[in-house]
Amino acid sequence: MLARAGLAGISFLPRLHLGSVAHFHSQPALSQDGGTCRSSPAGAQQTTMNSLQIDILDGRQSILVKILRLAWPVTISMLLQSSYSLVDMFYVAQLGEDAIAAVTLTGILMFAVFALSRVFAAGMQSMVARSYGLRNLKNAEVIFRDGLVGGILAGLVIGVIVMIQPDRVLDALQAEPGVVRVGTGYVSVMAAGSAGMIGLLTLGAGFRGAGDSVSPLVLATASTILNMVLDPILIFGLGPIPALGTTGAAIATIISMYLGLAWGISFCMRRNASVRLEFKKPPQLLMLLDLLKIGIPMGLHYVLLWLTSAITLYLVAGFGTLEVAASGIVSRITQVAFVAIASVGEATATMTGQYLGAGRPLDAKRSAQASVRLCFIFNSLFSLVLAFYSPLFLSAFTSDAQTVALGTAYMKLSSIMLVCLSITITLSRAFQGAGYTMWPTVIMGVRFATFGLFAYLLAWKAALLAPGVWLAVVISAAIQSVLIAFLYAKGSWTRTRLRSLDAATPEAA
């Protein structure tokens, strides 16, 4: 019954069509269902879009086109952001095994920083989008400033705590003495870059909430290129610049991040900026509380997701090296689909946020439906290719027959999981745009718990070993997708209220 009700909410996708252009002053705009949108609040500003922004409320383009226009820069940005660690690893690998281990273990620490960045980034994107939907740009500017400052300050606090005793951090991660000796400097410097990382990610979320996903791409591109140039110079030395080893890799990364952040802030000072920083008004506590109300569950969501992945790898490692190798190869192959889903999800968060801010819940639903349909079709086709040609893909990474056989089994299971994630990730981002994040995080907790239960039953009780763990991953992901679909069908997410925006909008109903 639950599954039928949940899936029914997304199985019928209304035909997407063009709506009328929204008016933001005296006349109420027509939404795509033909109803009347919420009128703009008193004092709402006339919105002038720059060339990098997409006017979500303009009905001259279809919802699907808007999703694609918002998503493609996010895809490239995500690939570039992930390249930071890859570039470091490429050069650090030439310094030996201890250096590689130090960078790998520090990645665990940086995930905690990333989870914290999601608190501020998710909350900011949602509230900036809702404010843009209301055409209350002053609110957007205040939220943008407070969220950015809050994220940077939180990063500084974490950085200082870790920098006090970086060797303790590596000891806690059970690093060997050689790794601690080589990696202490790397950990210290990367900790100092926490504020830059959080600031850069939060800044990008604010731009996307305003309908501009190109500016974050420009920043990510510039930062990545600078990191690629600085890495070999600071790691191996050049002329008067000494070789700094792993510490040099960290210095290159944080210089790139902080310069990218500074450049991004300079974008916000321009008259035609997608969203500007408001310095005249004092901090708005109510807005910051709403931002944290949205963001904290999202940060917890990412922690649970990371724990699921980490425990999966830990359990699989207990069955042997070949199983770990198979897991690693399949994860890298399927990363393409994950990036595609996440990119569409980011676009969906912006669109649902702006549509709900404008009082157009049906268009918000249509945005979510179009995103699910797009990702479902893409991942279904991608999964079919993976299922039929698994040995071919795996053979490109390894020549070991046992690893290929294990990887083939895991890839076929992963192809099912990708289809489930088409529903889960896109709808979760739609909820994020609405500011409705608590229940999706609870459902993520259900997935975490059911994964542990099925992993025990299948891997040990049923003696399926590593394939039992992989099957547990798929079953728990399928349960999550059904629950998320049911939550969408219930519809309460479209009625999410944000007190700070309601207080600033006398006509909000």
User: 30 forms bridges with which residues in the sheet?
Assistant: 36
d(Cα 210, Cα 354) in Å, to the nearest integer? 9
What pLDDT is stored for residue 94 in this prediction? 86
Q: How far is CA 312 from the centre of its chain?
A: 21
Question: What is the CA angle 472-473-474, rounded to 5?
Answer: 90
Among 47, 66, 25, which Cα is nearest to 363's? Answer: 66
The one-character DSSP state at 195 is H
| Cβ-Cβ contacts under 8 Å for 458 (sequence gap 6 or more) | 464, 468, 469, 471, 472
What pLDDT is stored for residue 477 in this prediction? 97
- For 244, the token pair is 């700094």
pLDDT (tens digit, 9 = 90+) per residue, 179-203? 888 889 999 999 999 999 999 999 9
DSSP for 40-85 reads: PPTTPPPP---TT---TT-TTS-HHHHHHHHHHHHHHHHHHHHHHH
- The parts of the chain modelled with pLDDT lower than 70 are 1-48, 84-85, 503-509
What pLDDT is stored for residue 12 in this prediction? 35
Q: How far is CA 160 from the centre of its chain?
A: 25
What pLDDT is stored for residue 37 in this prediction? 52
- For 130, the token pair is 């809702």
What pLDDT is stored for residue 13 in this prediction? 38
The one-character DSSP state at 355 is H
User: 313 forms bridges with which residues in the sheet?
Assistant: none
Question: What is the CA angle 312-341-213, rounded to 5?
Answer: 125
What pLDDT is stored for residue 503 in this prediction? 62
